[in-house]
């Protein structure tokens, strides 16, 4: 029986055209983030299963690719639970590995530590447009900075990068987990029901406010609390005025520091930004990760119709490893979705090297072939990209393929003409 030539479901193959764009985008990302002082690091793709299932990864903890114990450690006959079978898993994001890395190497790292990490992650998710089971993430994080200077720098670095890639008129949607808690408390929801309320609120784009009311009612919440909560989302501007209005409604339920910090972040970024985008205050923004403690944000690009990256503050995560909390904040670009949009728009890499193809006669003698190869080397020395190929029988199809790969300049070499 023939082997299966198709990739595993959710794992994509990357053809040459896309690979060129991916390399280009990664280059822009690395160059820009380094200019902001972020330091590249790398972490293993496998993590201890306990680190991945510590109830901070939200729904992603249900999507872990788990790895069986090996050799003598794997005892199938006597296994009574999953813990007897599994000891590690493929990372579902880069934040958990980063925090473990920081906790293990904190004494040797600069403070605050500005990390740049790019690598594949894995989730046993349902594949769809822009979502795969193996995909690249590009993260920047600042650990050890307690003030909102971290948020401001992360947003500026990320948006500058998107601008350099060529994106315009996108939005950075911003909110605060402590604001979400204040809204829930103001409405009369119990503290231990906060996560339930947030899970329902996170569906707002799909089911609308009427759907939110219905689901909150199904959970058994009081009608008075539901009406009071839903009313908070009426007529709220997506700027600092919206923050001021909510602060006026919530009063002492919301600490001044939270509203002041959000306002300062938005106003500072708007004054400093170089890319064409808009900061938008969105009181319904939730983000699913359980480890967020403060500011949260997402990238919204109209052409995609959904999130193309996001992040936030997670001040208590390091403490799970060391026993001592360290302020931390990060931002991740949705790399695969960015590349998808570029591919769909027939993106041309600016300033790319001129590509030439030399087609040589199939039975060309070695001394003649050497001359062609020397000429190709001279062209490469002048900054051009040159491929030397033997002519196929179907030369027309060969040229069409080369044209599709960007080789517009094709030169033919025959023995009797040299």
- Cα-flanking dihedrals φ and ψ of residue 232, to 5°? -65, -20
Q: Is residue 408 assigned to a domain?
A: yes
pLDDT of residue 129: 80
Same domain, 94 and 168: yes
38: region left, alpha or beta (phi > 0 left; psi from -120 to 50 alpha): beta
What share of the chain in percent tops pLDDT 70?
100
- Mean pLDDT score, 242-258: 95
- Domain of 371, CATH number, reads 3.40.50
Which of 298, 325, 344 is the last residue before a domain boundary?
Answer: 344
pLDDT tens per residue, range 289-320? 678 999 999 999 987 777 899 999 999 999 99
Flag whether 369 is in a domain. Answer: yes
- Among residues 290, 311, 344, the one where a domain terminates is 344
377 and 292 within one domain: no
pLDDT digits (tens, 9 = 90+) for 22-57: 999 999 999 999 999 999 999 999 999 999 998 777
Q: Which of 14-28, 48-62, 146-160, 375-389 has the lowest mean pLDDT?
A: 48-62
Q: Which helix (H) or strand (E) holds 244?
A: helix 240-250
pLDDT at 276: 93
Closest CA to 338 of 75, 159, 204, 209: 159
Residues 174 and 109 both lie in one domain:
yes
Decide: helix, strand or coil at residue 360.
Answer: strand
Q: What pLDDT score was predicted for residue 291?
A: 85
The verdict on residue 301 lying in a domain is yes
> 81-128 pLDDT, tens per residue?
777 788 999 999 999 999 999 999 999 999 999 999 999 999 998 888
Are 152 and 296 found together in one domain?
Answer: yes
**pLDDT reported for residue 202:** 86
* Residue 9 lies inside a defined structural domain of this protein: no
- State the Cα–Cα distance between residues 171 and 96, nearest whole angstrom: 27
CATH number at residue 298: 3.30.930.10
Rg (CA), the chain: 26
**According to the model, what pLDDT value does residue 1 have?**
79
Rounded to an integer, what is the distance from CA 224 to the centroid of its chain? 39
Do 399 and 272 belong to one domain? no
pLDDT, mean over the chain: 91
Report the C-alpha gap between 354 and 409 in whole angstroms. 8
Q: Which two tokens stand for residue 265?
A: 């972040």
Looking at the structure, do residues 360 and 212 belong to the same domain, yes or no? no
Residue with tokens 């199809």: 397
3-state secondary structure 38-71: CEECCCCCEEEHHHHCCCCCHHHHHHCCEEECCH
Longest distance between any two alpha carbons in the chain, whole Å = 92
Task: Indicate the pLDDT class of residue 249, thresholds 50, 70 and 90.
Answer: very high
pLDDT at 349 over 90: no
DSSP string, 123-162: --PPPBTTB-SEEEEEEEEEES--STHHHHHHHHHHHHHH
Whether 99 is covered by a domain: the verdict is: yes
Residues 296 and 362 in one domain: no
- pLDDT at position 253: 95
List residues bridging with 90 in a β-sheet.
46
Number of C-beta neighbours around residue 289 at 10 A: 20
Residue 184 pLDDT exceeds 90: yes
Mean pLDDT for the stretch of residues 345-364: 87
Taking the C-alpha atoms of residue 246 and residue 240, their distance in angstroms, rounded to an integer, is: 10
Residues 271 and 300 in one domain: yes
Q: Are residues 304 and 396 in the same domain?
A: no
CA dihedral (55, 59, 60, 66) in degrees, to 10, reads 70
11 part of a folded domain: no
Residue 246 pLDDT greater than 90, yes or no? yes
**Residue finishing a domain among 317, 344, 371:** 344
Which is higher by pLDDT, 391 or 289? 391
> Contact at 8 Å (CB) between 96 and 47?
yes
Number of domains composing the chain: 2
Q: Is residue 416 pLDDT above 90, yes or no?
A: no
The reply to whether 306 and 405 lie within a common domain is no
Residue 197: pLDDT above 80?
Answer: yes
Give residue 187's pLDDT. 93
Containing structural domain, residue 77: 16-344
Which pLDDT score, from 0 to 100, does residue 235 have?
82
- Residue 394 in domain: yes
Q: Return d(Cα 269, Cα 35) in angstroms, integer.
A: 17
pLDDT tier at 79, thresholds 50, 70, 90: confident
Which band of pLDDT confidence, cut at 50, 70 and 90, is reported for residue 70?
confident
* Same domain for 401 and 258: no
Residue 361, domain member (yes or no): yes
Chain CA centroid to CA 97, Å: 15
**Position 258 pLDDT exceeds 90:** yes
Phi/psi for 101 (5° steps) reads -60, -45
pLDDT value of residue 289: 65
Cis ω before 272 (30° cut-off from 0): no
Q: Are residues 405 and 308 in the same domain?
A: no
């Amino acid at each position: 029986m023939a082997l299966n030539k198709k990739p595993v479901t959710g794992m994509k193959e990357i053809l040459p055209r896309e690979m060129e764009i991916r390399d280009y985008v990664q280059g822009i990302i690395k160059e820009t983030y380094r200019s902001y002082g972020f330091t590249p690091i790398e972490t293993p793709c496998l993590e201890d299963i306990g680190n991945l299932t510590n109830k901070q990864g939200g729904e992603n903890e249900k999507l872990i690719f788990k790895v069986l114990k090996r050799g003598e450690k794997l005892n199938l006959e006597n296994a009574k639970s999953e813990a007897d079978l599994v000891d590690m898993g493929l990372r579902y994001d880069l934040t958990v590995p980063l925090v473990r890395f920081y906790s293990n190497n904190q004494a040797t790292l600069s403070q605050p530590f500005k990390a740049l990490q790019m690598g594949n992650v894995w989730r046993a998710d349902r594949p769809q447009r822009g979502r795969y089971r193996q995909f690249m993430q590009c993260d920047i994080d600042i650990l050890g900075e307690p003030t909102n200077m971290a948020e401001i720098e992360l947003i500026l670095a990320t948006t500058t990068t998107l601008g350099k890639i060529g994106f315009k008129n996108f939005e950075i949607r911003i909110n605060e987990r402590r604001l979400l808690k204040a809204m829930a408390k103001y409405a009369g929801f119990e503290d231990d029901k906060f996560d339930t309320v947030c899970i329902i609120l996170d569906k707002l784009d799909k089911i609308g406010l009427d759907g939110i009311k219905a689901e909150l009612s199904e959970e058994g919440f009081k009608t008075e609390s539901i009406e009071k909560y839903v009313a908070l989302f009426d007529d709220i501007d997506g700027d600092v005025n919206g923050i001021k209005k909510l602060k006026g409604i919530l009063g002492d339920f919301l600490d001044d520091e939270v509203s002041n910090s959000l306002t300062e972040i938005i106003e500072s970024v708007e004054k400093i930004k170089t890319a064409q985008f808009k900061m938008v205050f969105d009181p319904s923004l939730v983000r699913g990760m359980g480890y967020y403690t403060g500011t949260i944000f997402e990238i919204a690009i109209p052409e995609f119709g959904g999130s193309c990256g996001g992040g936030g503050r997670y001040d208590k995560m390091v403490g799970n490893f060391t026993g001592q909390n360290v302020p931390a904040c990060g931002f991740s670009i949705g790399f695969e979705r960015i590349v998808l949009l570029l591919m769909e728009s027939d993106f041309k890499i600016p300033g790319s090297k001129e590509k030439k193809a030399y087609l040589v006669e199939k039975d060309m003698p070695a001394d003649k072939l050497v001359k062609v190869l020397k000429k190709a080397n001279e062209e490469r020395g002048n900054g051009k990209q040159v491929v030397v190929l033997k002519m196929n029988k179907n030369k027309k199809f060969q040229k069409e393929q080369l044209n599709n790969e960007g080789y517009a300049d094709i030169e033919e070499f025959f023995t009797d003409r040299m």
